[in-house]
Structure 1
Amino acid sequence: MARPDKAAAVAELTEQFRGSSAVLLTEYRGLSVAQLKGLRRSLAGNASYAVVKNTLTAIAAKEAGFDSIEDELSGPTAIAFVTGEPVEAARSLRDFARANPELVLKGGVLEGNKLSGEDVTRLADLESREVLLGRTAGALKAALFQAAYVFTAPATKAARTAEALREKQAADA
């Protein structure tokens, strides 16, 4: 790797690895340039999609601490460097792969954990971050409402009992 152009490519890939929240690997054999352009467009905002040389990628991945993807670097490989939401990027890749069976999800790395192709598909099936946060907030609100009801129930029951007793005494007198 004495050539400066290869050293620059490795340095650029290393920076992309370090700047990514997740890395998703695909095999793009059989896809046309127009299809790859459409895939890049669908990933825009969440990830950048790059066709890479396996040997240079292996070196860059090792330098960036992504050693676990070396096994997946065989055949024509392209990488989605996720800078946005990993779920959205995985969903875009999964949907594109459904429409274009030539695209194969090979795996990836999310927060230091190696993912298989099936893991990427499961990641794509997750709800978006906003939906999950909304559900969590709703569950917390329901729990707080239930706790407030439990704490006020004895006082309310005591007040009703006292009122019923007062009405009974007034009726007896």
Structure 2
Amino acid sequence: MSEAIIAKKAEQVEVVAAKMKEAASIVVVDSRGLTVEQDTRLRRSLRESGVEFKVIKNSILTRAAEQAGLEGMKDLFVGPSAVAFSNEDVIAPAKVLSDFAKEADALEIKGGAIEGAVSTKEEINALASLPNREGMLSMLLSVLQAPVRNVAYAVKAVAESKEEGAA
């Protein structure tokens, strides 16, 4: 192999390793067998969720995982591999890919990494079942508002009972 090719591959490894280090979550899938239309829909859904999706050679992924400190991911890089990276939303890649895998049997989730820890297929699917960031914030807001709402109801009930007593 020429030195130019080796340098180019080393650069690719550096870029992928940097993405792995920065990513909040990584999901590795086998997308072999998807139709062009399905692949286009999947990529659009991922892009809309702020997720980067790439098909990368296993040799580059293996070296990048080693460099990023994710050696446990090596076992996932067998056969065709596509990788989804998300820097902001931990749940987004797992949710989009898991939902899509339900309708497209050809898509198989292999595993991934969540905030720097290697995760199994089951852990990725469990993550996908959680509500997204907006849903969790909505639940938190609801929990925080409950005590205030209960005090307001109590004050209203006391005011109504005093009005009835005065009349």
TM-score of the superposed pair, with normalisation by structure 2: 0.79
For the 8 Å contact 2:53–2:85, the answer to whether it is kept is yes
Q: Deviations over 1:125-163 (max 9, x none)?
A: 11121221222222122235557889x8xxx8xxx8xxx
Structure 1: runs of 5+ lacking an equivalent: 165-173
Q: CA RMSD in A?
A: 2.8
Pairwise mapping of residues 1-173 of structure 1 onto structure 2 (< 5 A)? 3-45=6-48, 46-144=50-148, 146=150
Task: Please give the alpha-carbon distance, in whole angstroms, between the structure 1 residues aligned to 2:153 and 2:47.
Answer: 47
Task: Please give the alpha-carbon distance, in whole angstroms, between the structure 2 residues aligned to 1:148 and 1:33.
Answer: 56
Overall identity of the aligned pairs, in %: 32
Q: CA deviation at 1:61?
A: 1.1
Compared CA separation, residues 139 and 4, structure 1 to 2 (3 A):
same
For the 8 Å contact 2:23–2:115, the answer to whether it is kept is no
TM-score of the superposed pair, with normalisation by structure 1: 0.77
- For 1:25, the aligned partner's letter is V
Structure 2: runs of 5+ lacking an equivalent: none
Aligned residue pair count: 158
Instruction: Please say which structure displays the higher CA radius of gyration.
Output: 1
For the 8 Å contact 2:51–2:92, the answer to whether it is kept is no
Runs of 4+ in 1 over 6 A off after TM superposition: 147-150
